[in-house]
Copies of this chain bind each other. A is one copy, B any other.
Amino acid sequence: MEHNLPHTMALLTRTPVALNALLRDLPEAWTLRNEGENTWSAFDVVGHLIHAERADWIPRAKVILQFGETQPFEPFDRQGHAREVQGKSLGQLLDEFARVRTENLGELRALNLRPEDLARRGRHPSLGAVTLAQLLATWAAHDLTHLHQISRIMAYQYREAVGPWSRYLGVLQCAGHSSS
């Protein structure tokens, strides 16, 4: 389907609530373990989602609206969550994610975007020309790619415990496709 702003916002509203329901107070064996060296735990992923709320979606939307293609976006630091998560508990990160997401949805509403705004173009530092609609669709799909990743990271912890059933569990065959 085409990008649809109310659909995007409906999804963006639900992700922090869903992650909270899934992860809060879960044993750390699920939330702090990763998939091996240089991979992320569910805890790290929540930190990354917070960092993206601060550095990616709304700031880039504003760059498009203000400068169009004349000013490329700041590159996004995929390791930028290291500062977010330092010294924090998962519960604190889940609270923080809910808070910054609510703020950003408020900012998005306040932009009062019209169809002609959604068609406006900006410049991604490596992808080139992108539209505001594509940026907002990616915000929603980025939530889903990390929900996909979290379910994979957690399933990985039981990859041996399931014994011969592993061949029936699609998530255990998922190679990750990318670092996210």
Contact between B7 and A29, CB atoms less than 8 A apart: yes
Contact between B145 and A158, CB atoms less than 8 A apart: no
Give Cα A149–Cα B152 distance, bound, in whole angstroms. 10
Give Cα A133–Cα B164 distance, bound, in whole angstroms. 12
- Asked if A20 is at the interface (CB within 8 A of a chain B CB), the reply is yes
Interface centre among A3, A161, A163, A180 (most CB of B within 10 A): A161
Give Cα A159–Cα B144 distance, bound, in whole angstroms. 12
Give Cα A61–Cα B169 distance, bound, in whole angstroms. 19
- Asked if A109 is at the interface (CB within 8 A of a chain B CB), the reply is no
* A73 vs chain B, min Cβ distance (A): 12
Q: Interface majority SS on A: helix, strand, loop or mixed?
A: helix
CB-nearest residue of chain B to A26: B10
Interface pick from A64-72, A85-93, A100-108, A170-178: A170-178
Residue among B25, B137, B151 making CB contact with A148, cutoff 8 Å: B151
Q: How large is the interface on A (under 10, 10 to 19, 20 to 34, 35 or more residues)?
A: 35 or more
* A11 vs chain B, min Cβ distance (A): 6
Contact between B14 and A165, CB atoms less than 8 A apart: no
Give Cα A131–Cα B133 distance, bound, in whole angstroms. 50
Q: Which residues of A contact B (CB under 8 A)?
A: 1-4, 6-7, 10-11, 14-15, 17-23, 25-27, 29-30, 33, 124, 127-128, 130-131, 133-135, 137-138, 140-142, 144-145, 147-149, 151-152, 154-155, 157-158, 160-165, 168-174, 176-180
